[in-house]
Amino acid sequence: MLYKRMPIEIEAPEGFGYENIDCNLSESSFTDQRLSDLGLRLDDLVLLYGDHKGKPELRELIAQEGGFSADDVLLTSGAAMALFIVATSFLNKNDHIVVAKTNYATNIETPRAIGAKVSYLNLRFEDGFQLDIKALDKLITKRTKLVSLTYPHNPTGVLIDEDQLKAIVALVERKGTYLLLDETYRDMSFVPKLPVAARLSDRVISISSMSKSYGLPGIRMGWLISQNKALMETFLAAKEQICITNSVVDEEIAFQYWQKKEQLFAPVRDTIQKNFNILKTFMAQQDVLEWVEPQGGCVCFPRIKSEIDIDMAKFHDILLNQYATYVGRGHWFEADARYLRIGYSWDTSEKLLKGLNNILKAVEVAKCK
Ligand X SMILES: Cc1ncc(COP(=O)(O)O)c(C=O)c1O
* DSSP letter for each residue of 249-312: HHHHHHHHHHHTHHHHHHHHHHHHHHHHHHHHHHHHH-SSEE-PPPSBSSEE--EE-TTS-B-H
Regarding beta strands 179-182 and 204-209, do their DSSP bridges make them parallel or antiparallel, or are they unpaired? parallel
Q: In this complex, which beta carbon is closest to ligand X, that of residue 140 or of residue 180? A: 180
Smaller CB separation from ligand X, 104 or 276: 104
Does residue 201 belong to the site contacting ligand X (CB under 6 A)?
Answer: no
The CB-nearest residue to ligand X is 78
The reply to whether 26 sits near ligand X by the rule CB under 6 A is: no
* Residue 335 makes contact with ligand X by CB under 6 A: no
- Smallest gap from Cβ 84 to ligand X, in A, equals 10
- x-marked contacts with ligand X along 47-66 as a string, rule CB under 6 A: --------------------
Q: Which of 109, 182, 252, 347 is the binder for ligand X (CB under 6 A)?
A: 182
> Which CB atom, from 211 or from 295, has the smaller least distance to ligand X?
211
Select the residue interacting with ligand X from 222, 296, 330, 343 (CB under 6 A): 222
Query: Residue 203's closest CA among 239, 163, 233, 176?
Result: 176
Contact status: 148 vs ligand X (CB under 6 A): no
**Is 209 one of the binding residues for ligand X (CB under 6 A)?**
yes
Contacts of residue 266, defined as CB under 8 A and 6 or more positions apart, other chains included, come to: none
The site map against ligand X for 73-112 (x = CB under 6 A) is: -----xxx-----------------------x--------
Q: What's the distance, Cα to Cα, between the start and end of the chain in Å?
A: 47
Cβ 61 to ligand X shortest distance, Å = 17
The rounded distance, in Å, linking the Cα atoms of 349 and 369 is 33
- Least CB distance to ligand X at residue 156 (A): 11
Instruction: List residues bridging with 339 in a β-sheet.
Output: 303
Exactly one of 26, 110, 184, 246 binds ligand X (CB under 6 A); that residue is 184
The phi, psi pair for 300, rounded to 5°, reads -140, 170
* Shortest distance in whole angstroms from residue 82 CB to ligand X: 8
Minimum CB separation from ligand X for residue 190, in Å?
A: 17
- 205 with 198: CB under 8 angstroms? yes
The H or E element spanning position 14 is helix 13-16
Torsion from C-alpha of 56, 59, 64, 66, nearest 10 degrees: -160
Residue 150 engages ligand X in binding (rule: CB under 6 A) = yes
Helix (H, G, I), strand (E, B) or coil at 198: helix
Q: Indicate the SS3 state at residue 199.
A: helix
By CB under 6 A, residue 154 contacts ligand X: yes
Query: How many residues contact ligand X, by CB under 6 A?
Result: 13
Separation of alpha carbons 175 and 43, rounded Å = 51
Residue 217 lies near ligand X (rule: CB under 6 A)? yes
The answer to whether residue 156 forms part of the interface with ligand X (CB under 6 A) is no
| Binding stretches for ligand X (CB under 6 A) | 28, 78-80, 104, 150, 154, 182, 184, 209, 211, 217, 222
